[in-house]
Structure 1
Amino acid sequence: MAIRSLAAAYTDAANRRDGAGMAAVYAPDGELEAPSAGEPVVGRDKLEKRFRRLVEKERDFLFQMTHSGVVEVNGDTAMARWWFTELKQPTGQPVEWVCGVYQDECVRLDIGWRFARRVVSSPFRWVLPEGQAINGALPSFLPLSGLPTP
């Protein structure tokens, strides 16, 4: 259950446009690899900088839905796979619909489970036809004490 909550916490932070929260689910030396995007990003500080840039400058809109995953725990490590769909609008670009998968290596630390390595692949992308997108402001969020904090 804790690893499912970890994946959910990442998606929650992404949808709230919280780059620090997105990085908080990683181990201090955690790694994000997106084969189509170049070199992996390694280390929580670099991940936070990358995620902040993503949600603050590179996306006019981002909404991710992580679907049921599979988790295999082996002591203090685990492997997991999560399928996701995402609507995103790169800054100044048309809206895209993305289907992808996260493949995770997790580690149990004193503070709980964290991602040691995430590999994200997006085998399906569809640029939506031009139309009028109406983006509203995000609501105020209730504080949830169970989420990893930056």
Structure 2
Amino acid sequence: MDPEVARLVDIQAIRVLSALYNRAVDEGDADAFASVFTEDGRFETLGPSGPIIRQGREALEEMATRAPRNQLHTTTDAVVTVDGDKAQQVCSLACFKRPERVGELPSIVVGHYEDELIRTPAGWKFTLRRATAWF
């Protein structure tokens, strides 16, 4: 395969992985959520209450199980750098919280992800996903 085509295929695969992450956390699908990470994958949230760190399949599954079901995560503006079997991604994050009452506007949390990924036999996986959010 042409190297530029291979790079574009990798970038698209990483963007699809990000979309699968978003859907899994919004749906509370613990298995699907943990499956986008390596077995020792790490998720870090940096927010106003300080860092929250989850590492390893069990901790990641628990995180997805406890995530609120009234949210919709989206990612945009991805910049992906592929270097062999490793990659980095930086993308913007918008998380919409559904209103509790009809007529209310959704609240929005914005921020960005800084990701480290590795190519595995099963495809690209996050080794680290760091979320910084501005509330």
Q: TM-score normalised to the size of structure 1? A: 0.70
The structure whose residues are more often helix, as a share, is: 2
Q: What is the match of residue 102 of structure 1?
A: 113
Where structure 2 has 5 or more consecutive residues not aligned to the other structure, the ranges are: 1-11, 101-105
Amino acid at match of 1:17: G
Partner of 1:53: 66
Deviation readout 1:68-87 (Å, 9 max, x if unpaired):
30100001100001112111
Which residue of 2 is the match for residue 88 of structure 1? Answer: 97
C-alpha separation between the residues in 1 aligned to 2:23 and 2:46?
Answer: 24
Q: 1:22 aligns with which of 33, 48, 54?
A: 33
- Displacement over 3 Å in runs of 4+: none
Which residue of 1 is the match for residue 85 of structure 2? 76
% same residue? 31
**Secondary structure of the residue that 1:35 maps to in structure 2?**
strand
The unaligned stretches of length 5 or more in structure 1 are 126-150
**8 Å contact from structure 2 (residues 94, 110) kept in 1:** yes
AA in 2 matched with 1:16: E
Q: Is the 8 A contact 2:24 2:64 kept in 1?
A: no
Counterpart CA distance in 2 for 1:98 and 1:38 is: 16
